[in-house]
Structure 1
Amino acid sequence: MAAGEAEARVFLEVRRRLRSALLIVGEPKEGGMPMDLTVRPFSLRLATSEGCTEIRLPAEVRLVPSSCRGLQYVAGDGLHLRLQAQAEFSTKPISIFNRSSEAQECCTFYCQSCGEVIIKDRRLLRVLPLPSDNWGALVEDWCCHPDPFANKPLHPKENDCFIGDSFFLVNLRSNLWQEPKANTKVICKRCKVVLGATVSSETTKFYMTEVIIQPSERSFSIIPRSQFVQSVVAECLVELASARSTFRYTIQGQDGKVYILLWLLNLDSLVAESLKCSKQIKKFPLFEDTLKSDSSSSCNAVKVLYQPCIKSRNEKLASLWEGDISVHSLTLPSATCLELLLILSRSNAMLPPSLRQMNSFQLLPSTRITASDH
């Protein structure tokens, strides 16, 4: 099949549950030579008059060459084809806080950005999920008598950690602040990033995107910031979609301002791409912010549509979403909302052009987030 020149970009997206794959071989550049593409179960072979290049598929992916269909040339992208595919469900997303194994252990809370110790050697005896934000209103609807929880807010005790959609609640009475005031920001002493906010004189909220919790015997491990943020947000989306069948989200800052609208498409994508092929065997690199040509891994992706809401963009749509009870809100520090928007934008730019938009939304794939601009 004529596909383009030797240095072609190859993009692969596999849907595990559907057992299907979309394969795109990059558009030929002007002056490029003819290329023959051969699809094999575990690799792709691209041949020109000057030689051959073999691109190995991710180890967990197997294509069915005889199922090739939907072959078409798309201007700006190149050759599109769909095939049956099998991809193993690899390990589950690594939880930022392992509720079962780390309970009962001594844990240390670190600032994710700089590694500063926030809480040292805290033994957590209870690690419990919080109910949804509107649980109080639901109790009022269900009860025929006065709300028994009206004056009993859910505050953790000294050895508790309560887990919300995007935050942890812990008791800091004996830790850092002598007389903390409610609704004040908690800021890292070293790097000055916003870690959370005080909820009461004893309870502090830490955002999952800003804090790493690890067993005290384990040393602090540095995780690239953008990789950490997208992993945490993707994990939040996966858990909310699974537990509450929620698929539309507003990402807002702690000041209540909406920064991003997200529409979840699917949770079962596996994405890989190879930017260039030369006359040697190449592997698909990990599809992340920095592509590593020596990596043979693929990337689990949560695929979303997104709309930015900064600089007065999409104000009417954001207002409609905020008034819709089927839309769930995730609150993060304002700076992290902007980081996430940058991550989505960069991820979107790495997609083949024809996959970057759907209606007015943008679409991107990343390490746990694949997004499309709307």
Structure 2
Amino acid sequence: MEKRDAFVEQLLKHSDAGRLHSQDAVLAPPGASPRLRVKDPDALLTLPEFIREAIPEPVQIKMQMEDPTALLTLPEFVKEPIPKGLDPSPPPASPRRKNSLKSVRSRSMSAPPLAWLLSSSSRSSSPTTSSPTESKKPKASRMRRVGSSVAVMPTLQTNLEVTYVAEYHESLQHVLVFLNVTGVMPGAVLDAEVVPAAQVPANTEDGNGWLVLRCGLSTSPYLRLPARVEPGKKEVQASGGHFQVKLSVLSANGTGPSNFVHSTLMDASRLSVMRPTGYVCASCSLPLVHASQVRDYRDLPSEHWAELVDAWMCHSDQKLHEHVQKHSTQGFWPTEGQALVGGSYLLFEQSVVSAHNLCTIDSNDEDKHVDTWVRVRCICGSIVGRRREHQLVGGVPRMVYRLAKYAIRPLSPSHEAPRIPLSAFVAEDMNELVHAHATYRFVILDEEEERPRLLMWLFKPSMRMSYTTPTEYVLPKSASIHAAKVLFKILGPSAAYSDLQIVLNKYPSFPQAEHLYYPREICRRLAGALKESNSAYPEGMRTMTDLDVGWLQRV
């Protein structure tokens, strides 16, 4: 034995002298895979090796706990175990069904198997046995990922998308609501309920009731109503592709159009209280009028007051007052330090006007009809009104400026300028002609080219209404307003004044329509507001007598 041990030791010494120890192989445990071999933790990795390197399990668990809402990649999602609450337990199949799987086709043969969605533990285990390899995994690797999209499946409850128009008919004492609801299946039951204003959250200004629609678990937002109605459940009627609700108005209702005054259209009393220090261009804010020199504001009568006076004079021997005779022949003109207020314009004397910020339009571009008023525009290009030379008896000629209220904005240090929509001034001009000539149909023409742009029928001059439009461009998306309901037709850009009579003959009573002139940009803005108001009505309610239905907001 001693000789054998000596011989082996001598062999080891000879073999050790001819090689390096770093070339010795590291023996791995029997049965271990190459991935489990011990690696040098300080060894540098190439980019492909770094990409293939798995995240250490403790680091992965720490990342999951710090950011539970982190998104999963597709490989991570596939490896995620199914939560216990969502793991469907298949019903026990009968032996007959197991033996006759080919005779029953429960799903498409071309569809991939559902087992790829399950984790490796679910695929390799059965209800009674489990894989020994899986059971040896640490608990942290088999835990459910907190906040994972696999574990959270909330019940979705979408709101009903509603566009509507609610019209308050004061003479009939009811509110008609025309509803266009998207997201409702055909034949579904739609419930409506009027909720008192006190029960509506974040409601501090509107004392009228609010309408709520329900269809199953889906509800609509709170819909404003233009008047106070009785609360409670209401009947919804389906009419074609839209819904209608008829609501009775409470007897003590103070929101009717008869309660509205038009002082907010900048009449003489309001301007006297505001005491503006100046008027600026509504487009560029350049100063146009030095109002600090204006001491007196006076309201003008109707544009057609002289016609009304002739109508009142039913006896030939009646004589007019000298003051009335003077103004019927010479008209009303402002004096120095005075401003005259019309329905949609202001008259200023030249001494208070910043003439260097205004310029006249050349006579070559003037209207075809003869008019002693010459159009003027701000140096920014916006048309603001007209001017005309006037000479008082025994005085020197002076220039008088007629500036449109929608083209200028008053400035006051003590009062905020009223926000009045453009449509309110147009409705005021129409309303004045209604009282003078009892006509409700109008042709809107642009001043620059004298082309007809709009046909308009003042269907209901004053009413309360609420609405929600599908889009928001010119009008607020949702509001409760005082408006004039109109029927209109937008004419194409190729329409000429010579073809106007042919166009008017297509629509009843329009050949006797009154003509109103506005700048072309005002006509475009007016057409855009009318078109947007028309979109709030349901599809079947948007036209009447070949005219589109809309409204003009008033104040």
| TMscore range, shorter length | 0.7 to 0.9
Of the three residues 335, 341, 344, the one matched with 2:530 is 344
Alignment deviations for residues 241-268 of structure 1 (CA, whole Å, 9 cap, x no partner):
4576442233233355432222112244
Alignment of 1:251 with 2:429, yes or no, is no
- Tell me which protein shows more helix as a share of its residues: 2
Residue 171 of structure 1: how far off its partner (Å): 0.9
Partner of 2:388: 199
- Tell me which protein shows more strand as a share of its residues: 1
Whole-angstrom distance in 1 between the partners of 2:495 and 2:303: 29
Alignment of 1:184 with 2:374, yes or no, is yes
Alpha-carbon distance change, 166 to 44 in structure 1, aligned in 2, over 3 angstroms: closer
Partner of 2:501: 316
Secondary structure of 1:335's match? helix
Alpha-carbon distance change, 28 to 53 in structure 1, aligned in 2, over 3 angstroms: closer
Of the three residues 351, 354, 362, the one matched with 2:548 is 362
Alignment of 1:102 with 2:271, yes or no, is yes
Partner of 2:243: 79
Rg (Cα) greater in structure: 2
Residue 61 of structure 1: how far off its partner (Å): 2.9
Whole-angstrom distance in 2 between the partners of 1:66 and 1:242: 42
Partner of 1:305: 487
**Alignment: residue pair count:** 343
Whole-angstrom distance in 1 between the partners of 2:518 and 2:418: 21
Whole-angstrom distance in 2 between the partners of 1:301 and 1:56: 18
Give yes or no for contact 2:374–2:387 (8 Å, CA) kept in 1. yes
Give yes or no for contact 1:263–1:306 (8 Å, CA) kept in 2. yes
Whole-angstrom distance in 2 between the partners of 1:48 and 1:150: 65
Of the three residues 145, 162, 176, the one matched with 1:9 is 162
Aligned-residue identity in percent: 15
Give yes or no for contact 1:305–1:361 (8 Å, CA) kept in 2. yes
Alignment deviations for residues 138-177 of structure 1 (CA, whole Å, 9 cap, x no partner):
75996899x8668634322123323344322221145333
Give yes or no for contact 1:262–1:307 (8 Å, CA) kept in 2. yes
Partner of 2:25: none
Whole-angstrom distance in 2 between the partners of 1:234 and 1:122: 31
Partner of 1:37: 191
Partner of 2:115: none
Partner of 1:213: 410
TM superposition score normalised by structure 1: 0.73
Residue 37 of structure 1: how far off its partner (Å): 0.5
Name the amino acid aligned to 2:162.
R
Residue 197 of structure 1: how far off its partner (Å): 1.6
Name the amino acid aligned to 1:37.
D
Whole-angstrom distance in 2 between the partners of 1:100 and 1:141: 28
Residue 49 of structure 1: how far off its partner (Å): 3.7
Partner of 2:460: 266
Alignment of 1:234 with 2:438, yes or no, is no
Whole-angstrom distance in 2 between the partners of 1:49 and 1:122: 66
Alpha-carbon distance change, 135 to 222 in structure 1, aligned in 2, over 3 angstroms: closer
> Could you tell which deviates more after superposition, 163-172 or 308-317?
308-317
Whole-angstrom distance in 2 between the partners of 1:298 and 1:45: 16
Name the amino acid aligned to 2:455.
L
Alpha-carbon distance change, 116 to 140 in structure 1, aligned in 2, over 3 angstroms: same
Secondary structure of 2:347's match? strand
Q: Which structure's relative contact order is higher, taking Cα pairs within 8 Å and 6+ residues apart? A: 1
Name the amino acid aligned to 1:264.
L
Partner of 1:128: 299
Name the amino acid aligned to 2:272.
A
| CA RMSD in angstroms, aligned pairs only | 4.2
Whole-angstrom distance in 1 between the partners of 2:345 and 2:418: 20
Partner of 1:116: 286
Whole-angstrom distance in 2 between the partners of 1:55 and 1:272: 12
Give yes or no for contact 2:469–2:532 (8 Å, CA) kept in 1. no
Name the amino acid aligned to 2:375.
K
Give yes or no for contact 1:123–1:159 (8 Å, CA) kept in 2. yes
Residue 133 of structure 1: how far off its partner (Å): 4.8
Of the three residues 349, 355, 380, the one matched with 1:171 is 349
Give yes or no for contact 1:65–1:83 (8 Å, CA) kept in 2. no
Secondary structure of 1:270's match? strand
Whole-angstrom distance in 2 between the partners of 1:27 and 1:56: 12
Give yes or no for contact 1:272–1:287 (8 Å, CA) kept in 2. no
Name the amino acid aligned to 1:7.
L
Alignment deviations for residues 268-317 of structure 1 (CA, whole Å, 9 cap, x no partner):
432223569xxxxxxxx99971315xxxx512221111123442287226
Alignment deviations for residues 312-361 of structure 1 (CA, whole Å, 9 cap, x no partner):
2872266677863xx44333222212221222122212222222111021
Name the amino acid aligned to 1:26.
N
Alpha-carbon distance change, 48 to 166 in structure 1, aligned in 2, over 3 angstroms: closer
